[in-house]
Amino acid sequence: MKIDSIEISVFELPMYQSTIRLLDAASGSGTLGQGAGSSRNLVPVQVIHVRTDEGVDGVCTVGDWRYTEMNPQQLAHLRQLAIGENPLNRERLYSKLRSAARFYDPAWFGGFDNCLWDIAGKVSELPVAQLLGGAEQ
């Protein structure tokens, strides 16, 4: 099995203003603060799709207003490094990305890695949680 394509979909979703209460653990007192969203603003959300030559898709969000979005240069570089590689060989891909993309913000690596785990779960017909070791008893 080999990675055949990597695509990004962008959606705009409404984000609502949220109020959070921050508490000091020692005193129990707190203050109210505003969350990052504002009332009914449309915010772009990126979803990465990693597809294999066997028709298995791995999907994950890779960016929105809370964390780093993937830019076109990073996507082109990721495609160059990952297409043709075995998606089940996550450690090799991660090592390859870390050394070749060391000047990029690595925050989007997690979204790509989640896609690889999604593919592994679908191929093995097991929940990703179980592949990661499952819940402790």
- Domain containing residue 120: 3-131
Residue 13 lies in a domain: yes
The secondary structure of 80-95 as a DSSP string is HHHTTS-TT-HHHHHH
pTM of the entire predicted model: 0.75
User: How do residues 37-55 score in pLDDT, each as one tens digit?
Assistant: 445 677 778 889 999 999 9
Report if residue 44 sits inside a domain. Answer: yes
Q: Return the CATH number at 21.
A: 3.30.390.10
Strand partners, 52: 3
Q: Is residue 70 part of a domain?
A: yes
Three-point CA angle 44, 52, 43, nearest 5°: 5
Could you tell me if residue 21 is inside a domain? yes
**137 part of a folded domain:** no
Q: Could you read off the pLDDT of 79-113 as tens digits, one per residue? A: 999 999 999 999 999 888 888 876 666 666 788 89
State whether the Cα torsion 79-54-115-130 is positive or negative. negative
The answer to whether residue 136 sits within a structural domain is: no
Residue 81: closest CA among 47, 104, 64, 63: 104
**Residue 25 belongs to some domain of the structure:** yes
Find the radius of gyration of the CA atoms of the chain.
18
Instruction: Give the count of domains, the chain.
Output: 1
Residue 46 domain flag:
yes
